[in-house]
Amino acid sequence: MRQQHIYIFLINLVIGNIGFVFISCRHKELPNQEMMTLLQSAAKYEDNPENIYCPEAMIKFCDSVLNNSSIDTGLLKAQNNKALALLQLGEEQKAIVIYEDLLNKTSRGDFEKHRQIMKT
């Protein structure tokens, strides 16, 4: 009889502890929840031309500007930004072609623009 009471007591104790563990763990916030939230919000801005670590987005943006704009200053800036993004991606030959095109489009007498293009 005494053994039976001990078994019942141990079973109740184990079930109580398991229940306590489930209840106490369920209400705790994850320790890395703040980091997960930050990463989720950062993912929204990952593919953004203003993100300096995403040259692919800058190339897409510049291609859009080049295809849809007719303003010379906007086109020159878009070409320059695209060339810089290509350099970041390691595609130097494509960037060189764009820079050569920029140099050919500027007049020979405009030394300031030539110097600016050569600087980049």
Domain total of the chain = 1
In a domain, 111, yes or no: yes
State if pTM tops 0.75: no
Q: Cα separation of 17 and 7, whole Å?
A: 15
Q: 100-119 as b/e, with b when 16 or more CB fall inside 10 Å? A: eebeeeeeeeeeeeeeebee
In a domain, 18, yes or no: no
pLDDT exceeds cutoff 80 at 10: no
Greater confidence, 96 or 52? 96
In a domain, 28, yes or no: no
In a domain, 31, yes or no: no
Domain hosting residue 70, numbered range: 46-119
- Write out pLDDT tens, residues 30-74: 678 888 888 887 777 778 888 888 899 999 999 999 999 877 778
In a domain, 6, yes or no: no
